[in-house]
Copies of this chain bind each other. A is one copy, B any other.
């Protein structure tokens, strides 16, 4: 159909009563829908696409007394939990793949895109590979800059982000500054220096934050290292 729903899905929605055919042929059993049922069908499709359970889809579209926003927020929380769980599993699984045994925990949250400018791509590539286990694939991209490496940490895509933070510092305006969670802060800190990082300060505890060290990469980008 134009609705995007499959026939088994339409039958199922008939069975559970959230989308009844406008008319059913008594002889053949054929289900017929009217064009004005399309919005409802598409709404169901949209809500199911974000995995809202059918019972809640029913409430969302038929029960005028339910708190729609609250229902969606509750579902949002479930999805967020699931997302965190899967991210965790990825981290743990990566540990298995590298070694073959058990591994620790990590935290995380936020998202954007980040470009880091460096003086020498090969130096930078080696730096990020050595220190953070990033894996880069060389590409000549026709974006705003001629050539660059696209890279990931761990391995594939998807991991955890922290926060976008804005701080006031006239001298450093326009300077890239980002952070990594480390399984072993001391070790990563040492490795980073060995790989050519500029030392800012070694691991220390600050109230209300994970244990942190500060370095600059060989091109001068500020990097915070956080104990996971």
Interface centre among A49, A69, A115 (most CB of B within 10 A): A115
A113 interface residue (CB < 8 Å to B): yes
Q: Decide if A158 touches B80 in the complex (CB within 8 Å).
A: yes
The size class of the interface chain A forms with chain B is: 35 or more
Instruction: Report the minimum CB–CB distance from A209 to chain B (whole Å).
Output: 7
Contact stretch, chosen from A15-23, A30-38, A182-190, A214-222: A214-222
Known contacts A147-B167, A173-B117; A89/B94 CB under 8 A: no
B72 lies within 8 A of A125 (CB): no
A49–B206 CB distance below 8 A: no
In whole angstroms, how far apart are the Cα atoms of A114 and B160 in the complex?
12
A111 touches B72 (CB 8 A): no
The reply to whether A164 and B114 contact each other, CB–CB distance below 8 Å, is yes
Determine whether A3 belongs to the interface, using a CB cutoff of 8 Å to chain B: no
Q: Known: A49-B89, A89-B49. Is A157-B113 also a contact (CB below 8 A)?
A: no
Most B-side CB within 10 Å, residue of A90, A92, A153, A165: A165
A148 smallest CB distance to B (angstroms): 3
Distance (whole angstroms) from the CB of A223 to the closest CB of chain B: 9
In the complex, whether A119 has a CB less than 8 A from a CB of chain B is yes
Q: A196 at interface (Cβ–Cβ under 8 A)?
A: no
* Beta-carbon nearest neighbor of A77 in chain B: B156
Among residues 115 to 152 in chain A, which have CB atoms less than 8 Å away from a CB atom of chain B? 115-121, 124-125, 128, 134, 136, 141-152
For the complex formed, measure the closest distance between the CB of A48 and the CB atoms of chain B, giving whole angstroms: 11
